[in-house]
Amino acid sequence: MSLALVRLLQLASPALPVGAFSYSQGLEWAIEAGTVRDEATALAWIGDLLEHNLGRFEAPLLARLIEAWRRDDFDAVRELNELYLASRESAELRAETLQMGYSATRLLRELGDFPADRLAALEALGEASLPAAWSAAAAAWEIETEAATAAWLWAWAENQTMAALKAVPLGQSAGQRILLALGARLPAIAQRALAMQPEAWSNLAPGFALASCRHETQYSRLFRS
């Protein structure tokens, strides 16, 4: 077993202390509105976002960030970080990635083995998104780009599924069936993301954006986004 695999498991773990568990990214509003109400509709919501939003924007952007960190191309890192922040459709989504990016940066500092020049470049961003900090760790720990991209997608899908379990609510077996179905789609989504050129990137998902905006004023909620 390689150390890179162990580090990948650490990065993708829900125990990574960046606060991902406290966000639903608009899923809680979709549940409130009745769009997501059972196992089938939860799978449809999460799966569509995985395929058409994350798979066509976040995943290819993350892969480019990893490669930029490998080359120590800090100008490219800054450009991609700014592009990601500009893509956040609501105040909650922007605040989410900045909070988690800050927490991930602080974690890398406290671990003590992160390259000093890359840590300085990450902190110099001022507002580091989670993808910027997460990709910095993936590059420093020599995790293969395709595997890191698949793990990023898996971690997101797992967090969304856990949010659905709490808020719909769903049973544990339903959650595992959802993850089984989503996981089967991840290799193809990750491979497509690595081949996708920037001019083809798109995170157009109006329903997702509206759900996130409406969550900001949702009366009763468990999650921060």
As a whole number, mean pLDDT of residues 60-75 equals: 98
* pLDDT tens-digit readout, 175-201: 999 999 999 999 999 999 999 999 999
How high is the pLDDT of residue 83? 98
Measured in degrees and rounded to the nearest 5, phi and psi for residue 161 equal -65, -40
Q: For the chain, what are the domain ranges? A: 23-215
How high is the pLDDT of residue 193? 97
Q: Residue for token digits 């990137």?
A: 201
Tokens matching residue 7: 């580090």
Q: Return the CATH number of 23-215, one of 1.10.10.10, 3.10.180.10, 1.10.4190.10, 2.160.10.10.
A: 1.10.4190.10
What is the residue-wise DSSP string for the chain? --HHHHHHHHHH-TTSTT-GGG--TTHHHHHHTTSS-SHHHHHHHHHHHIIIIIIIIIHHHHHHHHHHHHTT-HHHHHHHHHHHHHT--SHHHHHHHHHHHHHHHHHHHHHS-S-HHHHHHHHHTSS--HHHHHHHHHHHTT--HHHHHHHHHHHHHHHHHHHHHHHTT--HHHHHHHHHHHHHHHHHHHHHHHH--GGG-----HHHHHHHHHHTT-SS-SS--
pLDDT band for position 219 (cuts 50, 70, 90): confident
* pLDDT tens-digit readout, 156-178: 999 999 999 999 999 999 999 99
* pLDDT tens-digit readout, 83-134: 999 999 999 999 999 999 999 999 999 998 899 999 999 999 999 999 999 9
How high is the pLDDT of residue 1? 65
